[in-house]
Each structure stands twice: as C-alpha cells, then as structure tokens.
Structure 1
Amino acid sequence: MAFHTDAASAAASAAWAPAPAVSRRYAWAVFALSFGLLLSDYMSRQVLNAVFPLLKAEWLLTDAQLGSLSGVVALAVGVLAFPMSLLADRWGRVRSLVVAATTWSVATLGCAVAAGYGQMFVGRLFVGIGEAAYGSVGIAVVLSVFPIGLRATLSGAFIAGGAFGAVLGVAIGGYVGQHLGWRWAFGAMGIFGLVLAVGFALVVTEKRLNPAPRPGRAERAASAPLRTVLPGLFSSVSVVSAYVGSGLQLFIPGALIAWLPSFFNRSYAMPTAEAGGTAGIFALLIGIGMIGGGMASDRISRSDAARKWLVAVACSLGSLVLLTAAFRLPTGAPQLVLLGAGALLSGATAGPAAAMVANLTPGAIPATAFGTLTLANSLLGLAPGAAVTGMIADRTGLLGALQSVPLVALLASACFLIGRSRYHADLSRLSGRTAATRGVEVPA
C-alpha cells in the first residue's frame, strides 16, 4: 500500500538531514502525535468500507458507486502525493501537516452529514486531498528528531501504523455504525482527527524541529527543474517494471480492504460490526505481510540483490493461488484460512519493489523516485482495486468479482520477471558493473 512507499521515501530523504537538536522526551512526543495522526489518516480512509452495507441499503447504491467512494481517496492520494510533498518542503512541514489533518478531518465530518452519493463523493475526494502527502511528510518530521540509528525502527512502526489505522477504522466504524448509525461512524473519525490536529499544532513547531537548518543534497534535489529529474525516474526497463508490477499487485489489497466487510456481511450473514471487525483482521494481515515481505527479501538477497525480484514473483503468484482457492471454497474455516494466507502475501511485494526502485534510480532523487512509486501504487492498484471490483460485482455479484481479482497477480508477476531479466544490464549501465555484480543496494 501507499503508506509503505511513503515511509521509505521519507527515510531515504532524511539521510541528508542534520543531527537532531531536541530532547528525547520531545522527540517521543512528536512521534506519538505523528503516529496518532497516521492512525486518524487511515481510520478516516477505511471507515467507509465498514458501513458499505448501511449506505447501500439507505441510498440504494450500486456496488460500482460504493467502490468509487473508496477508490477516489486512493486516486487523490496517488495524483497529489508528489506535488503536495514538494509544497510541504517549501511551505513548511509542520504547517502542511496541520492543514492536511484538518482538511481530512473536516471532510470526514462532511461525509457524516452528506445527503446523497454526490455529496459523499465530494467529501471523500477532500479526504484524499488532505491525506495525499501525510505518509511522506509525517515520517520525515519524525525522522528529523531521532538519531539515525533509530530510523529503520521508526519507519517500520509507521508502516505498521497504517495497517493498524485501517484495522481500527473498519472495526470501530463497523461497531459505531451498527449501534449509532453510519453518520456517527464518520463523525467519530472526524472529531478524533481534529483533536489530534489541534494537539499537534500546539506541541510541534517548525522552529523546535529544525532550529538551525542547513542546505544539503536533498534540498538541491528538491529544487531541481522537473526536466532534469524525469529522465532518472524512467531510465531503464527494470525500474518501469518495478513501478508497474508494484502498482498492479496492490490492486488486490485495495480490493480486499474495500470489499471484505461487505463479503462477510453478505456471505457469512455477519452484522455490520462483526463484519467490520473480521475484515480488520485481514487488513492487519496485509500490513504484516508488507513488513514481512521486505524483511524476507532483504535476508534472501544479501548475496545477490536480483533475488528480490524472485521474492516478489513468489509472493504475487502465491497470493494468486491462495486467494483463487479461497473464493472458490464454500464459506467456513478452510476458506478463512486460505483467505488469510492470501491476504498476507498480497501486499508482500511492496518491500522488494521499493528496494528495486531505490537501486535503479539516481541517489540524488530518492524521494522523487518513491513519490513516483506511490503514484503507480495508487493509480494502478489502490484506487482501481475498489472501484473496478464494484463494477464487476454489479454484473457478476460480489463473490464473482472477488474470484476475478487475484488474476491481476499474473500481470504483476510478468512485470517482475521482465524486470529481473533486465536488472543486471540496467544496473551495470546506471551504476557501474562492479555495483551490479556485488549486489550493492540502497536500503528500502
């Protein structure tokens, strides 16, 4: 998902930052508030999926319309993540984060009072606008106040935080929606975000974060003309394969997170709260798989970086087999076990793909490269995953749509295999034959 690539982007960018000049207590306060806003980000994004059944019944919406309400957030995030991140670097990260959190929180409150599909769509669009750059800018703020030795741990915590927020959004949203109505589900998420935004604005200031800024390579890269940046982003077949393969594979998690609450409601006759809580467990498995896939690929590819491609292919094809089998089984424990295993693998390609992008793009533009990967993940995967599944469900039923979703993994695997076939040649051309033969990597 997008939160992984955003965190990796910020981690790479922060490598050129000066040493932190704040106390340990203040640093952990910044982390706690930033992590809380990350939870709010994903809770506001995913609460909609928990109340799909209630909206469908009240407004008589089609599955395609429900899917568009979910997909428009990922679409806005994908399109705006790069320009909003650039704006934050120039305008001020703290100020940008406060405005972003206020925007998505107020927009979520707007969803609570929406009178129909059109108003809800506009509200969800503004949720996506507010959330567009939070993953990259938020983790950049956190990394700026901690020693370098803690940066990998903190980045991992942010990756997991996105999954936790998704789980909380679906679970709490389903519970509140069932007992108080879907409007209160949105209202609770909006109020939570506003409270955290106020707390963040009162505690975190640009001056305390960066009392003595000094220019470096990151700042020079950020101000470079776009025409000098673009060639390095698309300079090889391998890096384009990583972008496209990662985006296509994330179509599957995007569909699962959006539609599993409705699947459990319709196929297992679960009430809204129970369906949301159950779906939240599978969303958590997707997040765990993202972290685990990155860790496994790093370990397996220590002697040869090209093995990351094979890890991506294995995870992609594994998700295809497991999820196809799961959605063709009758309801029951075996189906849930296979569904959980497939969900675990469905997002596990994010780590290997991010590492390949880092290896295959110039070291002076890592943030821009990961911004491009975030764009691909959103436009090819997370945004259409929910919307296209809804369109298919209107024609074949939700189960039929979910049975077709894993087939996207075939296209993703093909991209990863193409990338692997050209990897050594491309790396030799871009970084020198010595780096290619030794498997030199930029950590992802």
Structure 2
Amino acid sequence: MNKDSGTSFGGIYRYYVLIMLMLTFMFNIADRLVMSILIEDIKAEFLLSDTQIGLLAGTAFTVFYLLLGIPAGRLADRTNRKNMVAISLSLWSLMSALCGAALGFWTLLLARLGVGVGEAGGGPPSVSIITDYFAPHELSRAMGIFAVGAVLGPVLGYAAGGLIAEAYGWRWTFVILGVPGILLGVILYLTVREPNRGRYFQQAAQKAEADKAADTQEPFMTTMRSLWTNNIFVRVVLANSFTNIPSFAFAIWLAPTLMRNFDVSSGEVGVYLGAVLFIGGVPAMILGGFLADFLAKKNPKWRPWYCALAVMMTAPFWTFCLLADSLEMTLALYICGYILLVSTQGAAISMVQSSVLPTERGTASSISSLSINLLGYGIGPALIGVMSDNWADDYGSMSLNYAVISLAVVSLAMATFLFWWTGKAVNAEPAADPVPA
C-alpha cells in the first residue's frame, strides 16, 4: 500500500478524487444500462424474447460479479485501491466496447459476462477510498456526490446511447461509449493518490485499535463473522438491496416500455429519460445526503428513518406512472418517484461504510454490491422478462408494465420495513466528533 498519503490529502484535492470516482461510477452504470436503450434493436436483429433480453441485460452481467465480488472486496482491503479501480474501469470499458462485435445471443452474453468481471473490482475500492478522504460527519454528503454517478450513468447511457444508436446503429453505440472509460482509467491511475486506511474512525476509544489494525486484515472467516453479527450492516444491506430491485427494473425496462406503449424512437426516449434523470437525480442525490447528515446530528436513527419514508413514498408514483395513458404523465410520475428513491443512496452507502472497521470496508462494500446486484440485476430483470412473456397473451404490450409494477411494489414494501428495522439497531445518541488521523 502507498504510505506517502497522509492527512495532507484534504481540501480541494479530496473533491477532485471524489469527482474522479464519481465519473468512474458513471461509466460503471452507463456500460450496464446502455443495453436498455438498445433492447428493441438487438431484439429485432437477433430475434430474442424478453426472457433472453432479461438474461443479457441483468443476469449475464451478474454471474461473474457474484463470483468475484467478495474476492475483489478482500483485495481492496489489502492492496492499492486506486490502482485496482483504474484497472477495473479500463477492463469493463473494453468489454463493453466488444459488445458491439457480437454475432448473436451467445457472443453478446460472453461480452456482457466480461463487463461483470471488470465491474466487480470497481465499487468496493472506490467507496473505501472515499471513506478515508472524508470524516464521518460529512460522509453522507460525500457518498451522495459519489452516487451522482448512478444518475449520470443512465443519462449517458440513455441520451447519448439513443442518439448514437439512431445515427450509427447499436453496435457502434457500445464502441463509442466504451472507449472513454479506458482513457479515464489511465487518467485516474496517473493522478489519484492512495490515502492511508482508517484515517477517520467514529469511536475514539477504538482509535488505537483501528490504527493498529489499519494495515492488518483479519482472516476471511473472522471478517465474515464480524459483518454477520453487525446488525446495522446486515439490515441496511438488505434494505438497500430491495430498494435497488425496482430501481434497476425501471432502468432496464422503462425505455422499451415507452417505445412499445407510445410508439417513440430510441433517440427520443433516450433524450427524454436522460433529461428526466439529470434534472431530478443529481440534486436529489446531493441534497439527500446533506439532509440525512443534518437530521442525523439530532438523532442518528434519522438516516435509516429518512430512507424508509422516501422509499415508501416512491411506491405510488412508480405504480401509477406505468398505468398512465400519456408519455408526459408517465415521465412526470416517474421523476417524482425517482427523486425520492435516489435521495436515499448517500445515507445508505455511508451507513454501510461507517458501521464497519477500516479493514472491513472493501469486503463490506463488496457484500453490499453482491446483494444489490444479485437481487437487482441477477434476478429482477430476468424475472420481469419471464412474467412479461407469460402474460403477453392476456395483456399484450401492457404485460411488461404489469410485470415491472408487481416486482416494484413488493420490493419497495420490503425495503421500507428493512430501513425502519435498521433504525432499531442504530444508537440514539448523536455520533461522536470525528477523530482525525
């Protein structure tokens, strides 16, 4: 690990690091979700069913992500994290570009598997780095800014992807969106510096122990037992996983739903969704993190309570948006629910990171990502595809709408309960002042 990274890495530079990691997250999401805007073109060329599309859009990406997620998190807890992010970003961007050379279902499936291999190594080290650049009392807002990448990614994938696809076709769309990620990986490698692990630790009484353990990783089973018995970690991971099931379902299936229901082109849908996500998502991510930090000053339980309220309020907006009879109403209702849902992500990520030891953060992040991707990508899209195919004879083009609604309502109800349950495990006393390294 790089030892020359001390407490001097503060001020403006840490925000440069944060922006670089946010852009990495943006390409992470864009490379996953560009498939959404291309679904109808790929489906027509390769004569695929919704079930096969669900496998390509979600399950294919998830297979190796699940296999490599925890090893990647363990590696992030013991190696140079910024190098790991740079290499992973370049790898998944290359594999995304190679999707454009697919000859059919199976070759496209293999390329999507490669995207999952690369992305498994991006998230855990990124959030671990941020946790060592920002003190606990400002971590929710930092994670909120980082999570803006989850908004800009779909904007890039939808708007740019839709316009590029109309101009050059779906194959060149993968290539044109993949190459910039490779270049960003090189810039990140050359300009981002590795911070010392455990620079901040919430509990002063454990600071000496944290310093001693900062460079010493516990055995795998010891770490897993520690995380499994950590009530806050377990509950917030489950809650955020169920929160992201409908989020990913809409991210993948909303574009083809609009094309089928309202007879609009991929370019039009891309621009509409890109504008909606940017206008609503960016301020929601940032302000949600600030609001969670503000409420938590009075009572830390407000972090999970805020998430529970926002998730619960999302459900009616997202249910009725897929039942609306106009494109304008669909987009208006969708953005209301989207603002509420994404505003929870800064608080959710910060709760995961602040509830574990410094040497557990990469592993904790990988487990969180593993759970989110297993439910949100691995199971959700394919399940929706199966339901849509099975209900097509009865409901026609609305079968996809009903499939998304069914999964969203159940998932949001579970997420609301789990965030409330997380609050039961949080100490009611305000958090202690941060202990500087």
CA distance in 2, matches of 1:237, 1:416: 12
User: Where does structure 1 lack aligned partners over 5 or more consecutive residues?
Assistant: 1-13, 428-435
Give RMSD over aligned pairs: 3.7
Structure 1 counterpart of 2:32, from 27, 31, 45: 45
Deviation at 1:75, TM superposition (A): 5.3
CA distance 1:175–1:22, change in 2 (3 Å): same
Q: Which residue of 1 aligns with 2:293?
A: 298
CA distance in 2, matches of 1:418, 1:292: 24
Structure 1 counterpart of 2:107, from 119, 127, 136: 119
Structure 2 counterparts to residues 199-278 of structure 1, below 5 A = 199-201=187-189, 203-204=190-191, 217=211, 220=214, 223-235=217-229, 237=231, 239-278=233-272
Question: Identity, % of aligned pairs?
Answer: 24
2:42 alignment partner, SS class = helix
Structure 2 counterparts to residues 6-25 of structure 1, below 5 A = 18-20=6-8
Q: Does 1:403 align with 2:405?
A: yes
CA distance in 2, matches of 1:48, 1:165: 12
Deviation at 1:148, TM superposition (A): 10
**CA deviation digits over 1:173-207, x for unaligned, max 9?**
11111111100001112222233334445x348xx
**CA deviation digits over 1:117-139, x for unaligned, max 9?**
11111111111111223234346
CA distance in 2, matches of 1:353, 1:21: 25
**CA deviation digits over 1:382-414, x for unaligned, max 9?**
443322222222223212212213212112222
Q: TM-score, normalised by structure 1?
A: 0.79
Structure 1 counterpart of 2:182, from 186, 191, 194: 194
CA distance in 2, matches of 1:308, 1:150: 13
Deviation at 1:234, TM superposition (A): 1.9
CA distance 1:356–1:86, change in 2 (3 Å): closer
Deviation at 1:141, TM superposition (A): 5.6
2:236 alignment partner, SS class = helix
**CA deviation digits over 1:148-185, x for unaligned, max 9?**
99977654432213321221122111111111110000
Deviation at 1:31, TM superposition (A): 6.4
**CA deviation digits over 1:46-89, x for unaligned, max 9?**
21111111011111111121122221325544553432133245
User: Where does structure 2 lack aligned partners over 5 or more consecutive residues?
Assistant: 200-208, 392-398
The worse-fitting range, judged by mean Cα deviation, of 411-420 and 239-248 is 411-420
Letter in 2 for 1:69: L
Letter in 2 for 1:92: N
CA distance in 2, matches of 1:46, 1:296: 28
Q: Are 1:359 and 1:441, in contact at CA under 8 Å, matched by a contact in 2?
A: no
Letter in 1 for 2:299: D
Q: Are 1:162 and 1:287, in contact at CA under 8 Å, matched by a contact in 2?
A: no
Structure 2 counterparts to residues 105-184 of structure 1, below 5 A = 105-138=93-126, 155-184=143-172
Deviation at 1:272, TM superposition (A): 0.9
Structure 2 counterpart of 1:330, from 300, 309, 325: 325
Letter in 2 for 1:176: I
CA distance 1:281–1:441, change in 2 (3 Å): farther
Deviation at 1:237, TM superposition (A): 5.0
CA distance in 2, matches of 1:29, 1:329: 42
Q: Which residue of 1 aligns with 2:205?
A: none
Q: Are 1:217 and 1:364, in contact at CA under 8 Å, matched by a contact in 2?
A: no
CA distance in 1, matches of 2:433, 2:360: 12
Q: Which residue of 2 aligns with 1:419?
A: 422
The worse-fitting range, judged by mean Cα deviation, of 142-151 and 410-419 is 142-151
**CA deviation digits over 1:359-396, x for unaligned, max 9?**
65457634433333222222223443322222222223
Q: Are 2:25 and 2:147, in contact at CA under 8 Å, matched by a contact in 1?
A: no
Deviation at 1:222, TM superposition (A): 5.5
Structure 2 counterparts to residues 344-359 of structure 1, below 5 A = 344-357=339-352
Q: Are 1:78 and 1:377, in contact at CA under 8 Å, matched by a contact in 2?
A: no
Q: TM-score, normalised by structure 2?
A: 0.80
Deviation at 1:224, TM superposition (A): 1.0
Q: Which residue of 1 aligns with 2:273?
A: 279
Question: Would you say how many aligned residue pairs link Structure 1 and Structure 2?
Answer: 412
Structure 2 counterparts to residues 378-397 of structure 1, below 5 A = 378-396=373-391, 397=399
Q: Are 1:234 and 1:240, in contact at CA under 8 Å, matched by a contact in 2?
A: yes
Q: Does 1:368 align with 2:355?
A: no
CA distance in 1, matches of 2:143, 2:401: 36
1:52 alignment partner, SS class = helix
Q: Are 1:328 and 1:403, in contact at CA under 8 Å, matched by a contact in 2?
A: no
Q: Does 1:64 align with 2:46?
A: no
Deviation at 1:249, TM superposition (A): 1.4
CA distance in 2, matches of 1:439, 1:400: 43
2:48 alignment partner, SS class = coil
2:297 alignment partner, SS class = coil
CA distance in 1, matches of 2:87, 2:277: 28
CA distance in 2, matches of 1:419, 1:143: 21
